A and B are shown apart, each in its own frame.
Chain A
Amino acid sequence: MNALILIGSPKGRNSASYVLGSMLAGYLQKHGATVSEEMVHHGIRSKDGTDRLLDAVDASDLVVFAFPLYVDSLPAPLTCLLERIAERRALIVPTRAPRLAALVQCGFPESHQCDTAVGICRVFAERTGMRWAGALAMGMGGSLGGDLKKLPGGGKNIFRALDMASESLAVGGDIPPEAVGLFAKPLMPRWMYTAFGNLGWHMQMRKNKTRRPMTYRPYAQG
């Protein structure tokens, strides 16, 4: 079984999407799949890169979009890839119907804020002759930098959910509902995430030696 993980974050290997996508790749390999990874934002910049992404999709049995929620949906480069895949699959009768799964994380605490993006992925699969295999979505993505084992609870729900999902995906199944529920579980109380988040913005500004106040209004009409 050939699986392709498409990393949809512009931060590439420095992103939470890459951390999660790579972990899923590891679990898929453990369950017998052959896995490759591609960075969408790099590939989509050129015709050759886009063709390479499209060929990789065509050659896969399972495609996984791993991406951060951007303004309630998929980042623009990944949206562009969806358009290109749909164009190709409309022009050339596809010989295969890869399965599609999604791995989504958002910077807000509530995992349900990813629902629209997951819906877009599902409709995309249905309209392009791919088979929808489900999605894992989580909130509190801002806490995913670095070693996941240092997260509250050791990140065990994330590890368990990815393992369960990959076990099913590797044999042609869908992501089990139990994995969806585990992955969506909050990593910490909401108040704690927002308090640390707000503090984090100030600390980042101090680190960057930012001169403007956080509340600066460059387009001051408003």
Chain B
Amino acid sequence: MRDKLKALVLDGSRDGDDLTPIAVLGVTSALSERVEDVEWVKLRERTIAPCAGCFGCWTRTPGECVIGDGARDVLRSYVGSDIVVYVTPVTFGGYSSQLKKMLDRFIPVLDPRFTIVGGEVHHRLRYRRYPKTIGLGTLPSPDPEAERLFAGLVSRNGLNVHQTVESSILVGVTDPVSARDSARRLLDRAV
């Protein structure tokens, strides 16, 4: 951890989504209580192209995507953060396309070469340290199957950066105070 702690909130809300903005409010509020610098990135307002699948970020310009758009700023911020929170509507157990368009562009932060993590093959790390990954999903009503998948997905994403991670889902939470309280509990577990 650095002297001045920084958190990055990746807001994967979609147009017309009422719940995720409440979760974002809650988590930024809870983070502000323990971190000096909280950066909120509303992904649907950023121009971020889908990953082209070219592996140029590994074999042409190692560490940097060949597409020079808004994803580069987000990656720079990610590497400079102590905590990253993925906030998203749980979409069939996964992330929204808004969050996913950014996460697909995260591979430059890894080294392409393989290593074993938790008995499975993953990629080596490019940097010495990575922010603690936290997932916060929203759902309008309980959906145990989607909730289980979401927790598993966040956990697998943690393995990619050789971490154990924490996640939580706010079900039908429309009140920012309740969202903040839930986010506090999640942060207590995670950091």
Cα distance A120–B113 in the bound complex, in angstroms: 28
Output the least CB separation between B23 and chain A (Å). 18
Q: How far is the CA of A123 from the CA of B79 in the complex (A)?
A: 33
Q: How far is the CB of B65 from chain A (nearest CB, A)?
A: 10
Given contacts A73-B94, A219-B75, contact A10 B55 (CB under 8 A): no
Which of B32-40, B146-154, B175-183 forms contacts with chain A?
B146-154
Q: Do A113 and B107 have beta carbons less than 8 Å apart? A: no
Instruction: For B52, give the chain A residue with the smallest CB separation.
Output: A10
In the complex, B128 has a CB within 8 A of chain A: yes
Provided the pairs A116-B149, A123-B92 are in contact, do residues A214 and B127 lie with their beta carbons within 8 angstroms?
A: no
A10 near B127 with CB under 8 A, answer no
Task: Say which residue of B91, B101, B129 sits within 8 Å of A222 (CB atoms).
Answer: B129
Report chain A residues within 8 Å CB of B76: 219
Q: Is A13 in the interface zone, CB < 8 Å from B?
A: no
Supposing A68-B53, A212-B62 touch, asked if A201 and B91 sit within 8 A by C-beta, the answer is no
Q: Which of B105-148 contact A (CB under 8 A)?
A: 106-109, 111-114, 120-122, 126-130, 145-146
Smallest CB gap from A205: residue in B: B59
Whose C-beta in chain A lies nearest to the C-beta of B65? A218
Once bound together, how far apart are the Cα atoms of A194 and B124, in whole Å? 12
Smallest CB–CB gap between B125 and chain A, Å? 9
B160 is an interface residue with CB less than 8 A from chain A: yes
Please give the distance in Å from B109's CB to the nearest CB on chain A: 8
Interchain nearest-CB distance for A175 vs B (Å): 19
Interface centre among A123, A126, A210 (most CB of B within 10 A): A123
Q: Which residues of A contact B114 (CB under 8 A)?
A: 108, 194, 197-198
Chain B binder among A51-59, A78-86, A159-167: A78-86
Give bound CA distance, A120 to B96, whole Å.
Answer: 12
How would you classify the secondary structure of chain B's contact residues: helix, strand, loop or mixed?
mixed
| Residue of B with least CB distance to A221 | B80
Q: How many angstroms from the CA of A119 to the CA of B91 in the assembled complex? A: 12
Q: Which residues of B contact A109 (CB under 8 A)?
A: 121
> Given A71-B103, A215-B126, A218-B64, A124–B51 Cβ distance below 8 Å?
no
Q: Evaluate contact between B51 and A70: CB separation under 8 angstroms.
A: yes
Report Cα–Cα, A76/B104, bound state, in Å.
7
Given A194-B121, A213-B62, residue A71 in contact with residue B53 (CB < 8 A)? no
Across the interface, do B149 and A70 meet the contact criterion of CB distance under 8 Å? no
Interface set of A (CB-CB < 8 Å, partner B): 9-11, 15, 41, 68, 70-77, 79-80, 82-83, 86, 108-110, 113, 116-117, 119-121, 123-124, 126-127, 190, 194, 197-198, 201, 204-205, 208, 210, 212-219, 221-222
Known contacts A73-B153, A204-B59, A214-B62; 10 further A-B pairs (Cβ under 8 A): A10-B52, A82-B92, A120-B92, A120-B153, A123-B145, A190-B121, A204-B55, A219-B78, A219-B79, A219-B127
* Listed A/B pairs (23) with beta-carbon separation below 8 Å: A11-B53, A71-B103, A71-B107, A73-B94, A75-B100, A75-B104, A76-B100, A77-B50, A79-B94, A79-B100, A80-B101, A82-B92, A83-B91, A109-B121, A113-B120, A119-B152, A194-B121, A197-B113, A201-B58, A201-B112, A210-B62, A219-B75, A222-B127
